[in-house]
Amino acid sequence: MKGLPVSPLAPSGFPDLPDIAGVEAAIGRAGFYKHERPDLLLIRCIKGTRAAGVFTSNAVGSAPTDWCKQALSATRGAARGLLINAGCANSFTGPAGDAACKRSLEAAAEKLSVETREMLSASTGVIGVVLDDSKIAAALPKMEMAPVRWPEAAAAIMTTDTFPKGSGATCKIGDADVRIAGIAKGSGMIAPDMATMLAFVFTDAALSAPILKTLLRQENETSFNSITVDGDRSTNDCVLLFATGQANVAPIADAKDERLNDFRAALSRVLADLAIQIVRDGEGATKLVTVNVEGAANDASAKAIARTICESPLVKTAIAGEDANWGRIVMAIGRSDQPVKRDMIGVRFGDLVAARNGMISEEYDEAAMSAYMKAAELEISVTVGPGGGRARMFTCDLTKRYVEINGDYRS
């Protein structure tokens, strides 16, 4: 999978990310890939750092996500280190996988002079293969901890990604200046076998683990949980948020504290930016599509409808063909198994009205629609009934290249 051309939807370059006081990193090569490339990222956080995570809801899970859940629970979020490898997901590997995960973290903890229980772990790669932790143990001595170089860190966790993904922000908590920097990899389950969407976000704010968890869960819902490339939810997905506490933030006891408003907005922007970069790197993608749903019974129902539209093969192939095939969108709304009012259904492409009140619109203009569909970024908005439920999701098109990449991978 080396040498994939960069996605046509890639950003123009890697952004300037702020330094986060209290975070160091090293990259290395364990050799999980046949070709030369870094496949290890080790992070050390300063004492006092607090962390929170959200993890895949795939029932199979993986050794590293299982580890993180128990470690964050056992230490109440007092994390000091993070070891990430690309090339082996260490998922569906039973007790042998758990033991290999733990041994790799013991070795990393020793190098970082922290407790093993303070280590977090993330793996991405082939499902069903037990992690060969001896490769990691051999690589660790060669890795030098230093201030984080974000582009290199983001590149070290890539698998079939065609560009490294980063996003940062600065904001205020009370009078204190606070910085946020995040990196991500993957594209849902579109990376073949590389069943992973991973994101790691760091801030120098001083925030407790429960507050981090609350903020992350809330903002994750409209960012990573609002993207889909192919509906195939990975066994290894995780988003981890670390707060080093090095910014001069006055103590905050409650996630609802108004002083967090600016931070919450900044975190939201960073997570959404990373999530959309993942869609931009969707395998074979040539279109970035925003789907808005309104008029649903509630927000969850709106999201289920948005997801059905975003994951419909017929909608996605029509978009690949630059076909404003609104009938397929109506079909997808109808098959969502959500309460909808057929005679109130409307469909818009950008500002162009295709259907309104359960029928084709009188303003329907095929030529204008066709012209609109040629853009690389599209917005589809649907009304499904009289309710107040709304949702927005992001997806990409389904092209022959997706089939090619995912059909040819292991062979």
Q: Using the Cα atoms of residue 264, residue 223, residue 339 and residue 344 in order, give the sign of their dihedral.
A: positive
Rounded CA separation 344/295 (Å): 9
Least distance from C-beta 336 to a copy of itself, angstroms? Answer: 8
The Cα 363–Cα 341 span in angstroms is 21
Is 359 among the residues that bind a copy of itself (CB under 8 A)?
A: yes
Phi/psi at 194 (5° precision): -80, 65
- CB 63 → a copy of itself: shortest distance, Å? 11
Among 202, 224, 326, 394, binds a copy of itself (CB under 8 A): 326
Interface with a copy of itself (CB under 8 A), residue total 70
Residue with smaller CB distance to a copy of itself, 108 or 190: 190
Contact 378, 290 (CB under 8 A): yes
Q: How far is the CB of 321 from a copy of itself (least distance, A)?
A: 3
300: contact with a copy of itself by CB under 8 A: no
Member of 32, 202, 263, 402 binding a copy of itself (CB under 8 A): 402
Min. distance of Cβ 333 from a copy of itself in angstroms?
7
CB of 58 to a copy of itself, least distance (A): 4
Q: Is 363 in the site for a copy of itself (CB under 8 A)?
A: no
From residue 308, alpha-carbon distances to 102, 273, 315, 328 in Å are 39, 23, 10, 11
Which listed range, 10-18, 258-266, 289-297, 358-366, lies at the site for a copy of itself (CB under 8 A)? 358-366
Task: Count CB-CB contacts under 10 A for residue 167.
Answer: 26
Tell which positions 34-73 bind a copy of itself, by CB under 8 A. Answer: 57-61
Q: Which is nearer to a copy of itself, 255 or 331 (CB)?
A: 331
Select from 14, 33, 372, 409 the one that contacts a copy of itself (CB under 8 A). Answer: 409
Near a copy of itself by CB under 8 A: residue from 15, 174, 210, 327: 327
Q: Which is nearer to a copy of itself, 4 or 176 (CB)?
A: 4
The CA distance from 308 to 333, in Å, is 7
Does residue 395 interact with a copy of itself by CB under 8 A? no
User: Tokens 């990259």 identify what position?
Assistant: 27
Nearest alpha carbon to residue 21 among 323, 272, 249: 249
Query: Strands (DSSP E) along 148-207, which ranges?
Result: 165-173, 176-185, 198-203
Among 88, 189, 285, 293, binds a copy of itself (CB under 8 A): 189
Degrees, nearest 5: CA angle 44-147-77 = 25
Which residues inside 127-186 make contact with a copy of itself, applying CB under 8 A?
A: 127-129
HSE toward the beta carbon, residue 204, CA cutoff 13 A: 20
DSSP assignments along 70-110, one per residue:
HHHHHTTT---EEEEEEEE---S-HHHHHHHHHHHHHHHHH
Q: Diameter of the chain by CA atoms? A: 70
Name which of residues 110 to 129 contact a copy of itself (CB under 8 A).
126-129
CA dihedral 181, 186, 188, 189 (to 10 degrees): -160
Active-site position among 75, 196, 308, 395: 196
Q: How far is the CB of 98 from a copy of itself (least distance, A)?
A: 11
340, 380, 382, 393: which one binds a copy of itself (CB under 8 A): 340
If the CB atoms of residues 151 and 327 are measured against a copy of itself, the closer one turns out to be 327
Active site residue 235: no
Token pair belonging to 54? 């959200």
Are 111 and 78 a contacting pair, CB within 8 Å? no
- The Cβ of residue 250 has, within 10 Å, a number of other Cβ atoms equal to 10
By CB under 8 A, residue 193 contacts a copy of itself: yes
Per-residue contact string for residues 202-241; x = within reach of a copy of itself by CB under 8 A: ----------------------------xxxxxx------
Residue with smaller CB distance to a copy of itself, 236 or 246: 236
**Rounded distance between C-alpha atoms, residue 374 and residue 361, angstroms:** 21
Minimum gap (Å) between residue 224 Cβ and a copy of itself: 15
Which positions are annotated as active-site residues? Answer: 196
Give the footprint of a copy of itself on this chain (CB under 8 A): 57-61, 91-94, 96, 126-129, 189, 192-193, 195, 230-235, 311-314, 317-318, 320-323, 325-328, 330-340, 342-343, 345, 355, 357-360, 370, 398-400, 402-404, 406-411
